[in-house]
Structure 1
Amino acid sequence: SAWKAPAKVAWRQRDWPSVGRRLWRYCTQIDAWDNLELVQRTVASFGAKSTFFLLPEHQRAVNGTPNADYDLRTTAMQRRVKALADRGAELAVHGSIGTATDGRQWQREQAQLPVPVAGSRFHYLSWEPRRTPTVLDQTAAVYDSTLGFAEHYGFRHSYCHPFQPFNFERGAACRFLEIPLNVMDATLHHPNYLQLAPDEILPALRPMFQETERFGGVCTLLWHNDHFDPANETTGPRQFAELMRYLCSRNTAFVNGRDICEVVKL
């Protein structure tokens, strides 16, 4: 829905010609955010693998929080995401609001994906330490990649290796693997977060990359598909490419969650 935000701004400014142009583009052109295939090709151009965390719920949560602006249940979407998997992408569950404390809801959403999945991440990085580990232990999730900061990049658990969180109900290590989430596109320029200029992003992240490299750890880069829109000049495709070129220069091993789970046998 790349047209909505600028159309709303134009509407508030009473810029009716701009509103009309946005509506015309919406009716006649492919939406710039309808771009999963472009994302996969872009990532592959750097020798890397894509993991698509798909949000099965498209209705708003009870608290009003928006979920997906697409309906994964449609035949067209099922075919598209199945094609991504057929071309080598990993599919994973992006659990909607509420799934972090409701295993049955997570299972229902997981069942909407057209191929078996191993990974999980919760919408808005939702996580309740005393409940979510138990929820995931009761599902088919082999790994999760929720635990990172929304407001800052870095190591939420002071650790750059995959690990098993603690299950407080069982008093033991969880059965699934937690793969740290280190940096998210929105963190870098969102008005509530870091507000970095485009040329400040790589210098800010380089020390974190170097620390991860020093200890032979993993670094998860979360780049939403709407941030592959060329109109995004702050945390868009150019900034993504700059980060990927740097990582390539460091001989980074680009892997996905399934690959990591194969290496770290539980």
Structure 2
Amino acid sequence: MIRLLYPGGKTKALTFSYDDGKIHDRRLVKLFNTHGLKATFHLNSGLLEHPGTISRQEAASLYDGHEVACHGVLHAFPSQLSNPALVREFLDDRIALEQCTGRFITGLSYAYGDHSPEVRAAAHAAGLLYARTVRSTGKFFPPADFLQWDPTCHHARALDEAALTDAFLEAPGDTYPMLYYIWGHSYEFERDHTWEQMESLCRRLAGRDDIWYVTNIDYYHYLQAARRLVYSAQGDRVYNPTGIKVWVCDNGLVRTV
């Protein structure tokens, strides 16, 4: 029996996702860096430089070690835009963010969590590989559809319900690759006076040998490679047609393919 694992033979993954590019991202990035956690920051390129928002110049350096992704040029409701305007909202955001960061920008979170089949098609047409919703599942399953990537929870729930994090940390992790996906906005910590609670949560989740700390896009690429593995009819052999090393447990032996 061959079972999928995460890099390093780990059985669990943790990723964070934060929207809007507010100045409070500075403190959050520092917090993540202190604890060795990884996150994706979704920016609105047309709103950078606005009061309370980071600048284009700062975006190039602030998120070093993390992922920068799209959130729409102007944070418009996607379903209220015409098809041409919708593609521009996504594609122009990609272009602007790639220009100011020098990175490939291929991720998205839907503004207001607003999406539909037409919106998802526009995201795909704009070259975006995944898109996060705001529909929390309370579960730790990998996404079935990366253009409808439902998170586990908003950080407010993770802060208020210790049992959810307990369930993730205490699970044996020997049945399926678990993913804990937490999202939110950094300004909410300032507004709700929950910075200390967030720091406590980060300490709980950090430094675990069984957890892969990963950005959204790195998780996407790994899982896509894993889903392309070719198994023998009896399930006792596996072939990897991709260039990404994938970890598996093969009858109790942890190895790569």
Q: For 1:23-172, what aligned pairs fall within 5 Å after superposition?
A: 34-58=23-47, 70=50, 77-85=55-63, 87-95=64-72, 96-99=75-78, 102-113=86-97, 114-115=100-101, 116-128=104-116, 130-146=117-133, 148-149=135-136, 154-155=138-139, 160-164=141-145
> Shift of residue 111 of structure 1?
2.3
Structure 1 partner of 2:223: 264
TM-score between both structures, scaled by the size of structure 1? 0.60
Q: Secondary structure at the match of 1:135?
A: helix
Contact preservation (8 Å) 2:138, 2:164: no
Superposed CA offset, 1:226-262 (max 9, x none): 1343x733xx222212222222365421100121123
Structure 1 partner of 2:12: none
Structure 2 counterpart of 1:123, one-letter code: A
Structure 2 partner of 1:192: none
Q: Equivalent of 2:202, from 222, 228, 244? A: 244
Q: Secondary structure at the match of 1:253?
A: strand
* Higher RCO structure (Cα 8 Å, ≥6 apart): 2
Structure 2 partner of 1:22: none
Structure 1 spans left out of the alignment, 5+ residues: 1-32, 59-67, 165-175, 189-195
Q: How many residues align?
A: 191
Structure 2 counterpart of 1:82, one-letter code: A
Provide the C-alpha distance between the structure 2 equivalents of 1:98 and 1:212, rounded to a whole number of angstroms: 41
Contact preservation (8 Å) 1:209, 1:219: no
Q: RMSD of aligned C-alpha atoms?
A: 3.2
Q: Secondary structure at the match of 1:162?
A: coil
Provide the C-alpha distance between the structure 2 equivalents of 1:212 and 1:71, rounded to a whole number of angstroms: 46
> Shift of residue 53 of structure 1?
0.8
Which protein is richer in strand relative to its size?
2
Q: Secondary structure at the match of 2:68?
A: strand
Structure 2 counterpart of 1:34, one-letter code: I
Provide the C-alpha distance between the structure 1 equivalents of 2:67 and 2:51, rounded to a whole number of angstroms: 19
Provide the C-alpha distance between the structure 2 equivalents of 1:249 and 1:94, rounded to a whole number of angstroms: 30
- Change in CA separation of 1:232 and 1:239 when aligned onto 2, cut-off 3 Å: same
- Change in CA separation of 1:224 and 1:69 when aligned onto 2, cut-off 3 Å: farther
Structure 2 spans left out of the alignment, 5+ residues: 1-21, 226-257
> Shift of residue 208 of structure 1?
5.7
- Change in CA separation of 1:215 and 1:98 when aligned onto 2, cut-off 3 Å: same
> Shift of residue 205 of structure 1?
4.4
Q: Identity of paired residues, percent?
A: 17
Structure 1 counterpart of 2:70, one-letter code: V
Superposed CA offset, 1:200-246 (max 9, x none): 432354336656946322221113211343x733xx22221222222
